Structures are given as C-alpha cells and as structure tokens.
Amino acid sequence: MSGQFGSWEQLDCLGCGGQARVFKVRTDQGDVLAAKYLDLPPGEETAASAVTEAKFAATRFDPAVGQRLILFTEFIEGQTLRCIINGQPLEQAKIRTYSLQLAEALNYIHTRRPPVIHRDVNCNNVMIRPDDTLKVIDFGLSTCLQPLEDASSACGSTVNSTASSRHQLGTVGFLAPEILYRKEKLGVAQYSAQSDIWAFGCTVYQMATGQAPYYSSQPAVYIYRVVKQGAPQLPKAAYSEELRQFYHGCVCKDRRRRFTAGDLLQHNFLLYRPEELRELRQLVQDYQRQCAEQTQLHAREKQQAAERKRKRIASANAEATRERQRLQIRLAMAQKVAKKAAGKRRREAAQRARERRARRSRMQSGTDEDVNLLVTAAAEADEAATVEQLTRDLAAAMDSFRRDLLAVELRLSEQLLQLDTEDIAERAAQQLELDTKMLMLKSAEATAKFDKVS
C-alpha cells in the first residue's frame, strides 16, 4: 500500500459520527483504503487531535479547504470486537487470543520514545480480522507522554508519566477512576499508560461477561460507582483463577499497583493455554503428592529405625540384666562356698592348734616320740601358714571380682545412657561381652584358687 496517489473513489460508507465520516475508497493506484473525513470545529485541541491521529495512524494526510481534514488509513476487513461479542460472553480461549494481541499492541505504543497512550481503548476501537488477528484503530485521542526526570523514568518506565486535558476524553464505561476523580475535583483529566491498562481490563470484562462494566448505569452513577467501588468482579464459576488474577491486575484502583503492558505479556494467563496450565497444575500436584509420599516414607523409615534401635537397646538391657543376675548368683555361690571353706579351715586350724599345744606339753617331757611330734607340728604349722595365705588370696580375688562386677555395671549404665546410634549399641554389646568373658575368666581363676585351697 502506497501513500502516493492522485485520486480516489468512494465505495461504501463505513460509519459516521458527529464530526467525522469514514468511507471505503479505492485509489487510482488500485489500493483499498479507509478515508476519514473530519469536520473540524474551531478549537486548538480538536485540530491537535486530528493531527495526532494523522501522525500515528494515517497513510496520507490531506488538508482541504476550510475546516475539513481527510485521513487515509489502512482498510481493515472484519468486525469490531463489540460486534464479535454481541452481548454474549466469549470462551476463555478467545479471550486469551484477543487479550494477547491487544496487550502486545499496547506494549508497543507504551514503549515508544516518547511513549504513546491511546486514551480510548474499548471494544469499538478494536478490529478483528477474519483470521482472528487484531488491530487497534482510532488514534484520534492518542498523545505522547513526557516521562518525569526520575529513576523510574530513566529506566523507560511510564508509571509516573501523565498527560492532562481540560476535557474528559474517551468512552465513559472504560475510563479509569483517577481520570474521573481528578476531572470532578480539579477540573483536569489526567491520563497515563495505566489508564490505558484500566480500559484494557474493562475490555477483558466485556469479553468475559458480554457487557461493559456497570453498562446499565447512567454516566453519573457509573462515575460514582467506579470512583467509590472500583471495577466489578468477574464471576468465579465461569472462568479460571488465572483470568481473574489477570483482570484484577488491570483494574486496581491505585494506578501504581496496576500491571504494565509488559507485565500482562508475562502473566500465566497469556503465557500458557488453558490445557497447558492444567498440565502444569497437574504436574505441580503430582510433584507435591510425590514429595508428601516421600516425606511420609522417610518418616516411617525413621520411625522403624528408631523402633529397631529401641528394641536393640531393650534387648541389650535385658541381656545385661540376665548376665548381672548370673554373675550375682555365681558370686553368691562363691561367697557361700568360701564362707563354708573358711569355717572349715578355722575349725581345722583350731584342732591343729589344740594338737600343737598337746604336743608341746609332751615335748617338754623330752621323749623321742615328742621330738618327732614337734617336727610334725612344725610341718603342720607351715602348712597352716600356707593355707592362711591362700585364704587371704581367695578373699582378695573375691573382692576384686566384686569390684570388677560393679565397674562393668557402671560402664554398662553409662553406655546405655549415651547410646545414640546403632554403632555405639554394637560396640557397647561387644564391650559387655568382653567384660563378661573377663569376669568369667576371673571367676574361673577364683574358683581354681578355691579348689586349690580346698
């Protein structure tokens, strides 16, 4: 399509309004265009608006005689989004398709240098071609923003950039609350990229419900409800949570909290199709379920390990108790035998002492028999001394045996208190077995000594 042509032929009237009529025309070059005839009343702002639209959207700008202006723009086959909706809600897949393209268009104009805002985004200004591609039209109210000189604007942000007008521009059902509030209180309407995002959210609402927000209200009632209550909520049952979050981010009353066009393009509602979101959600649920199962399995294994540890400790305690009981029984038997042997030895020693006294008495008589008896008594005295020494050795062995038994019990108690891991429990059991063998060996030595004394 070329902007160089000399004449044109009007084909059809596409629409007309208070100050403009739009015709489908064919140029002498064979191109089909849309020609917008503007009747400009006196006023700088109206003329500036026409020039702005020509700058942003026109293929050719032909000033004519008097106050008439002709703008030639691309002719777009298709219907407006409002005609597509026709008072009925669209499917979520269609809403996603159109929202993605409209967000890309807004992101394009908002990121220009300088940024451009449309100021009249609504379903009448969005054309849908037969192939479902989208075109934004009617840039007659658009304007350029002058970013503020601060850190955010230095990074290309348009959050703090505004454009003011003495007149309320745009479609009432799509105007942001800050525009309505400032126009009512200060007499100046303040527009920004965020006001375009609000209008975008109202467009999403109309696609989802079939009607613009508060469509049945009078303009004054609409202004009051939007300023006081904000935008209406989407029905929860009809659409997904992602779409409701997407819409809510567009219509926050505080414009600083609204999404930018770039944020919209990064939102899950536009990044993923509904079936992809369902798959992702299912994957997340499966992962969470697997994590929960692994956690439960780990907890069960940990509980089973703790139970096995408690059983091993209980078994070690029971075995130690039985071993202590066996050692105590053996010690009691050894003490009983030793006591009996000591009594017997005392009686025998007393008998031998009596015999020695008798022999000494006879030795004093000087007979040879008494001499022999004296020699025998001396031998028996040596034997008695040996027996006494062995008795003392046995008593010392029994005392050492008792001390070793107490030490084993004390060490076993300390190890059982400090038993935190399976390796410690095994080492304690091995040490207990070693100590038990040592005690049994000492018991055997004490028994052998006792047998020798006996």
What confidence tier does 20 reach under pLDDT thresholds 50, 70, 90? confident
| 70 touches 33 (CB < 8 A) | no
- Condensed to tens digits (0 to 9), the pLDDT of residues 282-299 reads 788 888 888 888 889 889
Which of the pair, 194 or 72, is modelled with greater confidence? 194
Q: What is the pLDDT of residue 198?
A: 95
The pLDDT value recorded for residue 425 is: 59
Average the pLDDT over 41-55 and give the result. 55
**In this predicted structure, what is the pLDDT of residue 51?**
56
Which span out of 35-39, 148-152, 350-354 was modeled with the highest average pLDDT?
A: 350-354
- The reported pLDDT for the residue numbered 285 is 84
| 103, pLDDT greater than 60 | yes
Q: d(Cα 125, Cα 105) in Å, to the nearest integer? A: 12
**At residue 341, does pLDDT exceed 70?**
yes
Of all residues in the chain, the percent with pLDDT exceeding 70 is 69
CA 31 to chain centre: 58
- Between 195 and 390, where is the model more confident? 195
**108 vs 239: which has the higher pLDDT:** 108
In contact, 24 and 75? CB cutoff 8 Å: yes
pLDDT band of residue 399 (cuts 50, 70, 90) is confident
Number of H helices, E strands in the chain: 13, 12
Q: CA triplet 76, 66, 165: central angle to 5 degrees? A: 65
Query: Measured at the alpha carbon of residue 269, what is the angle toward residues 267 and 272, in degrees to the nearest 5?
Result: 100
Indicate whether 73 pLDDT > 80: yes
Please report, as a single letter, which amino acid is at residue 137: I
Tell me the per-residue pLDDT of 79-92, one tens digit each, with 9 for 90 and over: 999 999 999 999 99
pLDDT tier, 150 (very low <50, low <70, confident <90, very high otherwise): very low
Q: Does residue 68 carry a pLDDT above 90?
A: no
- In sequence order, the 6+-apart residues with CB closer than 8 A to the CB of 342 are 391
How does pLDDT run across 206-223, given as a tens digit for each residue? Answer: 999 999 998 776 778 888
Each residue's pLDDT tens digit, 113-134? 889 999 999 999 999 999 999 9
Q: Average pLDDT of 173-184?
A: 80
Q: How many CA atoms lie within 13 A of 284 on its CB side?
A: 6
Contact indicator for 145, 194 with CB cutoff of 8 Å: no
Residue 141 pLDDT class (50, 70, 90 cuts): confident
Which residues contact residue 86 at a Cβ distance below 8 angstroms, ignoring those fewer than 6 apart? 210
Structure tokens at 206: 């109309």
Contact 38, 47 (CB under 8 A): no
| 0.85 surpassed by pTM | no
Instruction: List, in order, residues 6 or more apart from 254 with CB less than 8 Å away.
Output: none
| Range from 44-48, 111-115, 185-189, 239-243 carrying the lowest mean pLDDT | 44-48
**SS3 of the chain: helix, strand, coil, percent, to 5:** 60, 10, 25
- What's the confidence (pLDDT) of residue 196? 95
For residue 449, give every residue at least 6 positions away whose Cβ sits within 8 Å of its Cβ, in sequence order, or none.
390, 393, 394, 397
For 335, other C-beta atoms within 10 Å of its C-beta total: 13
> What is the rounded CA–CA span in Å between residue 184 and residue 411?
90
Give the pLDDT band of residue 151 (cuts 50, 70, 90).
very low
